[in-house]
Amino acid sequence: MKTITKAIAILSIAALCATSALAAEGGNPKKGKYLFKKSCKTCHVEDAEGGEVTPLNRTQAQWDRFFERNKHNADAWNKFSEGDLKDIKQFLFDHAADSDQPETCG
Ligand code: HEC
């Protein structure tokens, strides 16, 4: 009995990992929202140099790619720590165009 329970536990953990292969993980979305408003919005409101950016600009897969491939120009990007970027990514991902809670960041 015990081994079976263990096996089931291991299997469900494996399943969880598999389904979240394409997902932002471990970031703190609340902190991400705060950081996004404070630091990204300085350049990313309408008429600012970076143009308006909100979570809705991209789908979850597109945000994944954006952060993974480090697509931003480095001058602005390198000011953020890896932890900050993880949190910001989590916020954007959680509210992406195809997320459960699509949201702009007004
Ligand atoms: C110092 C100004 C500045 C800051 C700060 C900044 N950006 Fe940008 N961003 C830009 C500029 C300029 C562009 C457009 C051209 C480029 O990539 O060089 C851009 C482009 C982008 C794009 C692509 C534009 C689009 O419409 O698809 C995204 C997404 C983006 N930034 C997200 C972010 C996020 C998220 C943050 C905060 C972690 C951030 N930016 C911080 C200046 C900035």
Structure confidence at residue 1 (pLDDT): 63
Q: Give the residue with greater pLDDT, 21 vs 33.
A: 33
Q: Is residue 13 part of a domain?
A: no
102 lines ligand 1 (CB under 6 A): no
Please give the biggest Cα pair distance in the chain.
64
Residue 19: inside a domain, yes or no? no
Residue 76 lies in a domain: yes
Query: What is the rounded CA–CA span in Å between residue 3 and residue 6?
Result: 5
CB 50 within 8 A of CB 43: yes
Give the Å distance between the CA of 101 and the centre of ligand 1: 22
pTM of the model: 0.80
- In this structure, is residue 6 part of a structural domain? no
- Check residue 21 and report its DSSP letter: T
Residue 3 lies in a domain: no
Tokens 């989590």, residue? Answer: 90
Whether 14 is in a domain gets the answer no
Provide the residue range defining the domain that includes 39.
25-106
Provide the number of structural domains found in the chain. Answer: 1
In a domain, 67, yes or no: yes
Q: What is the number of alpha carbons within 13 Å of residue 7 lying toward its C-beta? A: 4
pLDDT digits (tens, 9 = 90+) for 45-89: 999 989 999 999 999 999 999 999 987 988 889 999 999 999 999
Rounded CA separation 3/81 (Å): 43
Q: Is the pLDDT reported for residue 20 higher than 50?
A: no
Compute φ and ψ for 22, nearest 5 degrees: -110, 75
Q: Which atom of ligand 1 is nearest to the CA of 51?
A: 26
Q: Is residue 29 part of a domain?
A: yes
The confidence band for 5, taking pLDDT boundaries of 50, 70 and 90, is: low
